[in-house]
Structures are given as structure tokens and as C-alpha cells.
Chains A and B, each alone.
Chain A
Amino acid sequence: MFSKGLFFAISKILPAKIAYAHCDVPCGIYDPKPAQIAAQTVLKMAQVIQNLSTQNPTVNDKNKFVRCVLTKEEYAGKCKEELLILWTDYFKTEHLKMFPNLHETFWKAAKLCSINKQEVSLGRAKELAAAVDEIADIFNKTKTSTSKK
């Protein structure tokens, strides 16, 4: 009906504008990987902190302790931020029908991020990593169901 040649001729006189399909970020870049990396970093830091020498620590030991705590703090925060993006922006009502415990799962994972900031606990860090992996699994299942349509 409209030839591209005619369109481009008109567009030279009346330049076309770009319309986007997304209000904020392109949908395709939602990914649970950053949250998983952050959770694994928290776990690694908890392991390193617990293995640090508490008997007569050197200045370097003290420096390493502070750096590990800072990193744990930073990545627990990043993990929560990434989870909240997935929870509030990616997941929709349709996904709740497939995964009725979705809100509960996210809420617990977000709480674990805070707990891991407050504590140095291998158990809690492992719980966080497992909770984020579970969310990644849910995310991947929603992607599979989309591509089957």
C-alpha cells in the first residue's frame, strides 16, 4: 500500500520520529544473573570473614576484614535492588497465576538480603543464594512459557 521509496521521499520533507515499545528499559534485558552473582558474592564474603584469623590480627588482616564486610554490605544491597527490579518491573499478574507463591518468595529473598547485611552467617548466606536461584528458576520458566506461545 505504501512503498518504502515514497515513504522515504516524504520523510525527507517531514522527518519521522522514533517511537519506543517500552516505558523504561527494554524487556529483553531483565535477567536474574546480576542478583545471583551478588548473592554468591555475599556467600563468598561470609566464608572469607569466618576464616579470618581472630588471634593477634595484623593490620593487613584488619584491612581485609573491613574490605570483606564492605563488599558483603554492598553486594547484599545490590542483590536486593536487582530482586526488586525483577519483582516490580518484570513479573506481571499473569506470572502470579503460574507461581502463586511469587510474592512470598521475593519477600523472603529481599528479607534475606537485609539479614545478610546485619549478620555474618554462612547459613543465612546459603539461604540467600538458594532463594535467588529459586527466583532465577521461576524467571527462566516464564521465559520458556513465553517462547512456546
Chain B
Amino acid sequence: MSPTFENGDIVLVNRLSYLFEKPKAEDIVIIKREKYIIKRIAKIKKGQIFVLGDNENASTDSRSCGWTDKKEIIGKVIAKI
């Protein structure tokens, strides 16, 4: 997620955000795969999101892993501390 986030950055995540609003493009989210992953939402379709890393030439993201189920979203990143 360079240059937005670098290794060791601490972020605050609102786990309740998407109870009150729908995910939208440009939101930065934590999704749960085998581990927690931080990515930016690029596109949304019914029940699924397409996420990208900000370091587009080097990121491993939905271009490799495909669409992600919205249910896998843990929360929305609301601040870098």
C-alpha cells in the first residue's frame, strides 16, 4: 500500500462503518483472507469488491486474486496514527 501506508504503520479501523453505509470506491478497508489484508476498493458489483494496492505496479491484489466477497470486509480504515 506504499506510499499511503508503509511497514509498521498503525491504523484505526471502524468495524461498524458498513453497518450504516455501503462500501464505496476509494475506501481503504481491511479484508480477511488467510490473514488480514489492507487494500483500497477500486470497483464494486453485487456483493463483491475489487481491491487494489496503491503501489499499482508491484501490488498483489484483485488483479491476481480476483473479486472479494463483501462479507470478508472487517472494517474501514479511518485514520493513520
Contacts and interface: CB of A to CB of B under 8 A. Distances in A.
Interface of A: 1-2, 4, 7, 16-25, 27-28, 30, 88-90, 92-95, 142, 145-146, 149
A93 B36 contact: no
Interface residues of B, number: 27
B81 A27 contact: no
| Interface class of chain B by DSSP | loop
15 contacts: A2-B81, A4-B81, A18-B36, A19-B13, A19-B36, A21-B5, A21-B37, A23-B33, A27-B58, A92-B57, A92-B63, A93-B63, A94-B56, A94-B57, A149-B57
B36 A7 contact: no
Contact of A19 (B2, B37, B53, B61): B37
A25 to B, nearest CB: 8
A95 B59 contact: no
Contacts of A92: 56-57, 63
B10 A142 contact: no
B24 to A, nearest CB: 20
Contacts, number: 67
B37 to A, nearest CB: 6
A23 B60 contact: yes
Contact of A2 (B33, B53, B79): B79
Given A21-B37, A89-B64, A146 B5 contact: no
B73 interface: no
B29 to A, nearest CB: 10
Contacts of B36: 17-20
B74 to A, nearest CB: 8
Interface in B6-54: 10-13, 30, 33, 35-39, 53
Given A1-B79, A7-B81, A19 B60 contact: no
Given A2-B12, A16-B10, A21 B1 contact: yes
